[in-house]
Amino acid sequence: MTRRIAFAMLLLFATCAIRAQGNGCSLTLTNMSFGTYTGALLNGTATGVVKCNGAWDIPMNAGMGVGATETVREMTGPNGAEISYQIFQDAARTINWGNTSSTDLNGTGNADITVYGQIPAGQSPAPGTYTDTVDTATTSFNISVVVSAYCSISATALAFGTYSGSQVNSTSTITATCTNTTPYNVGLNAGTASGATVTTRKMTGPNSALLKYSLYSNSGRTTNWGNTVGTDTVAGTGSGGAQTLTVYGQLPAGQVVTPGSYADTITATLTY
């Protein structure tokens, strides 16, 4: 299968503050940039400087997102869509950074600190700008990531079983996963056999013998499934989750070929 990936923007903001237990405490933080998010797990960091004469702790609350918690925060984007992210105290990203005495960061005196952010893999919200505010008291820092429309594709094999001269039908599935609201098209090429076209595909068998077959996009097997966008591909709109498309195959009756196993490889292309 082939995949094509494009990019759009995603931007988010967060704030935090220092809660001093001694006198003369202050916190400064740099911005955090995640780079580009394309559905894979993505990490980012920000650095800060604590200046304090005594003990201190730095809390970060759950933020503004609907359903957000101090362990899974939510950024809000187009039409109320959300994308989840997390903030950690350690480089391994195993210690959550929250807003209680057991989950905030604490120390004594002057210190350099690092904020470790992570956007989990597998999220496919609508492309656009997502923001959140993690609010404490006095200090803020910006967090940003560039995200776009993106898709992935997978497929199962189509097996016709045994052919004895009568028509044989079979099906397989293609799974397309695209960011929510992203339009896409799925095309199927002619395959690898000599002389094959998208309307007359061929499987190759013993001594290069050929067995004709067809692929359709409808259960009535009347609409050929080809590879020209806008003409014979299958169009869809991403939902943010997996969407299953059925490939309807047919071996026409009346072919007399050398007995044996026949096979072909079709490339499915997802364009968006």
**Domain boundaries along the sequence of the chain:** 10-147, 151-271
* Cβ–Cβ under 8 Å, residues 272 and 149: yes
Q: Give mean pLDDT, residues 130-152.
A: 78
Report which of 137, 132, 136 is spatially closest to residue 117, judged by C-alpha positions: 132
CA pseudo-torsion sign 141, 85, 93, 33: negative
SS3 content of the chain, % helix, strand, coil (to 5): 0, 45, 55
Q: Which two tokens stand for residue 68?
A: 């957000």
CA pseudo-torsion sign 97, 73, 69, 65: positive
* Cβ–Cβ under 8 Å, residues 21 and 57: yes
- Quote the pLDDT of residue 211: 98
Write the class of the CATH domain 151-271: mainly beta
- Quote the pLDDT of residue 10: 34
Residue 255 has pLDDT above 60, yes or no: yes
Q: Are strands 210-216 and 242-251 parallel, antiparallel or unpaired?
A: antiparallel
Cα 135 from Cα 17, distance rounded (Å)? 8
E strands present in 3-108? 10-16, 19-20, 26-29, 32-37, 42-51, 55-58, 73-76, 82-88, 105-108
- Quote the pLDDT of residue 73: 93
Which pTM value belongs to this model? 0.78
pLDDT band at 136 (very low <50, low <70, confident <90, very high): low
Residue 251 has pLDDT above 50, yes or no: yes
Architecture (CATH level 2) of domain 10-147: Sandwich (2.60)
- Quote the pLDDT of residue 269: 97
Report which of 137, 140, 82, 138 is spatially closest to residue 115, judged by C-alpha positions: 140
Placement of tokens 């935090």 in the chain: 16
Q: Which of 7-16, 18-27, 102-111, 166-175 has the lowest mean pLDDT?
A: 7-16
The conformation of residue 73, written as its DSSP 8-state character, comes to: E
Count of beta carbons in the 10 Å neighbourhood of residue 53: 13
Bridge partners of 73? 85
Cα 168 from Cα 204, distance rounded (Å)? 17
Residue 225 has pLDDT above 70, yes or no: yes
CA atoms within 13 A on the CB side of 220: 2
* Cβ–Cβ under 8 Å, residues 236 and 177: no
Q: Give mean pLDDT, residues 168-186.
A: 97
